[in-house]
Every structure is written in structure tokens, then in C-alpha cells.
Amino acid sequence: MAHIVRPDRALALVLAVLLALAAPCWAQAQESGGYDAANPQNLTDDDLTAKAALVMDAATGTVLYAKNADRRTYPASTTKIVTCLVALENFPDLQQLVTVGAEAGQISSDSSVLGIRKGEQYPMLDLLYGMMLRSGNDAAMTIAVAVSGSVEAFAELMNQKAKELGCKDTHFVNPHGLHDESHYTTAYDMALIAQAAMKNRTFREIVAAKSYTMSATSQREKWRVETSNPMFVATSRFYYPDLVGIKTGYTSRAGRCFVGAADKDGVELISVVLKSKNTQDANGRDNGEYWVDTARLLDYGMTRYDTYTYTEMFNQAPIYAVIQNAARDDENGGMLKLQIVPGTALDTCVIKCLPEQAQEMLSQFGQSVSINYTRELTAPVEAGDILGTVTIDANGQPVTATVVASRSVAAEAVPFSLESLLPHVAQALNSRWVLLGGGLLVLILLLVIILRLRAAVRRRRRRKEMLRRRRAAYDRYRKM
């Protein structure tokens, strides 16, 4: 007797089997958090723990990705970016000694400090390094007073600078970023500040440093400060090899913050992460969400760029040579495109740009190319013939490669060359007309000779007669 399965039970059985098969896939998706590291171009807001985030092209200011970029947020110690920039622009002698005053102690006892002591003297440059590498709030206060005479006056300079850079929703009240309800910014505004700061050479050197040796003072010997940024440390799980700065920040109200900069293949990006999480894993290790957010933003930003080798760029922005003496029927009037010999150093030099920047980049690329011709540009030319060399400025270094003709150019035929006349001469020599012409030519020559001889005889006769008459006249004169 056949066993009959009720339809509702059959459906339940099928669903149970499907759920069992799908469970491992769901578990894997939940474990990965939905972010696909192999495809960073698929970044979404849910992949970032930060409440506000942004990545920007440092050269153009183009925003590549933004999450709540205009939301007002507390910046914490990323404030020190503008503090450092304002100090660099308003304190001309960075080797000038600055005396640490009482202001260095006017901060929360549990805040991050460099550890400088009242009465010590440091070059301004040392204080800037200490502030940026160790996030020293005491150094920030000392810098502010040294530049402006008071924290309030320095904050005015900070706000003036922010307004000058186009910040629309930013206000500073102190140089260090400790919490204050009136001290705020946005991810976009902070990116503008970082973009401007990274154009300052000294600022770039400071924020790229892994360590710095502080000068000796009357109270201590030289001492060394180290960066607290794990994205700079090769042994860290958060290490990011293309990072070139900039500054961390944290308060309980601001959350974890980081403004970063990365440079790869000539592309520099500015990233901003504000109010990110601060959690630990089962082993008590920092999950580093703000480092992870930063890496994801920078990875995403780099995927937005198209990559070209210099050889590809040369081929897309072609340079032409005009070959002289080209055949009249040459389809391009003797003009041919130059090609770079494959396998040169230019195949490994790359340049990146956003798709919308490609045309402008191509036009600028042509301006950095110089051609040195090593042969005369005269036909005939065969495809592949070496015409000279091309030199291109590749990230500040000149790179040279050989250029060849992309096609053949035939020479114009000479209409009355000896080679073209020889067949006609040979034919004429076999003709009877050459004999008649030759005889006529001989007769003409003989006639000319006879006429010239007769004329010469007449001239001699006239000359003799004239001499005879002169002699006769002379004789008559003597007889008188």
C-alpha cells in the first residue's frame, strides 16, 4: 500500500531542508558583517560604524563617499589639526624657544598629555611634534598662548581659518578638543581643514613622523615620543601601508575619531571618521572600529580611480611626426603617430584619475612629454623604424623610452631622374633619327667654325691696313 504524504506536511519538510542548507550561508554572512573586503567598491553606510564619515580627493576636493558628512559632531583631538596649521602660519621661527607656563596644567587630569613641565623651554617645533604624535593637550595649550597670548585669542584665529577654508558648520573654543558644547564641526568641514593642512610641507612632515626626539631642557635630558597610531605600525593588525597621517581623537561624547590621509600611485585621499564605536572582542582587544572604518573608506576611494600606465597615456594622447618628401598619394600627408617600444620603464609607471578627470589629465599629460628625434624625418620610413626618444616626467623623475614609426611612409618619386631617362636613351640609340640628328649637329658645328675663321681673317686684314696708314702718316710728318 502506497504511503500518502499530506500536502501541508510535504511543504513543511521542503522548507526544513532549505533552511538547513541555507543556515551555513546565513551564519557566514552574519559573521562577515555584510562587508566584502574583496570588493571595497560596494561600501555602504551600514559597513561603517562611524556616525559621520567621508573620503575626499585631496587634490581637487571631490567627495568620493559621504555618510552624514554635514551632521554637527564633536571633533575631540582632531581639533589639533587646525591648531597645528594656525601655529605654523602665525609663528614664523619654529626654532624659537617657548616657555611652558601655567596654562599647560589647565586641562583635565585624565586627558592625554605630553608631560611637559612648567618652566621648561622647548622650540616651537618640538611642541608641535609632541602635540600631534602624543596628542598632548598640555602642548596644545602652550602653543596657543605662545602664538596669541591667550587661549581665547587663539580660538579666534582657529575660527577665522575655518571660515577662510569654507567651513560652514564649525566652531572652536579651545586648541585641544576636550569636550565643550560650543566646540563642534562636521566631517566635511574637517576634511577641508585637513586638505589645507596637508598642503603645508612642515605639517606633512610632522603628521607623517613615527617618532620624535624632544630637546633637552634645564629639567631633563632629551627624550623620545612615539606615535600612538596603529595604522602606522607594521606589526599592527590595523597597519595601512599607504597612510601618510594625520590625527586621532577621543572623548566619551565625541567617540572614536580619526582624520587620515593616504597616498598611492600619485593619488592622495583625505578620510574622516567621527563618533565611531569603541568596543572590545572576547579577548579584551580593541576592535578598532575607527581604524577599520578608515581603511574601508580609503580602499573605497582608491577603487574610484582608473589606472593608466604611462605607455597607455602616451597612446591615448598621441604625438605625431610629419615626414618630409612623402609620396603625394600618402593618405595622411606624411603624418604618422609615434609609438613607444613595449617593455620600457614607462610600462610600470602608472597614473590614476577619476573617470570625469580623464580628458583633462590627457591634455596635461601631453605637456609633460618631450621628444628628441635621432634621425631626419624624411621619407622613406618603414613601420617600426626608430625615430628618437621620448622623456616623460613620472612623479618628479624623468623616464626615457624609444619611439618608433607606427606605419610606413613611401617617398615621392623623382620625375626626371637618370633611372627614368635610361630606357628612352636606349630606345633612341636604336633609331635612324639619331643618325640624322647627329649629322645635322656636325654640319652646324662646321658652319660655326668656318664663320668664326672668316671673321678672324677680316679682323686681321683691317688691323694691318690701319697700321700701314698710321706709319705712312708718321713718315710724312718727319719729312716736313
Query: What pLDDT is stored for residue 422 in this prediction?
Result: 56
Query: What pLDDT is stored for residue 364 in this prediction?
Result: 80
Cα 64 to Cα 21, 40, 239, 298, distances in angstroms:
39, 13, 23, 10
CA distance 176 to 6: 73
Give the H/E segment covering residue 309: strand 306-309
Query: What pLDDT is stored for residue 125 in this prediction?
Result: 98
Query: What pLDDT is stored for residue 318 in this prediction?
Result: 86
Quickly count helices (H) and strands (E) in the chain: 12, 16
Query: What pLDDT is stored for residue 31 in this prediction?
Result: 39
CA distance 100 to 158: 21
Give the H/E segment covering residue 398: strand 397-405
Query: What pLDDT is stored for residue 455 in this prediction?
Result: 81
Query: What pLDDT is stored for residue 45 in this prediction?
Result: 97
Give the Cβ contact number of residue 194 at 10 Å. Answer: 27
Residue 281 and residue 287 in contact, taking contact as beta carbons nearer than 8 Å: yes
List all residues 6 or more positions away from 341 whose beta carbon is below 8 Å from its beta carbon. 401, 402, 403, 404
pLDDT means per 10 residues in the chain (480 residues)? Answer: 42 45 40 78 96 97 98 98 98 97 88 94 98 96 98 98 98 97 98 98 97 96 94 94 96 96 94 92 87 97 92 87 93 92 87 87 82 94 95 85 94 66 55 69 84 82 73 62
Please list the active-site residues: 77, 80, 135
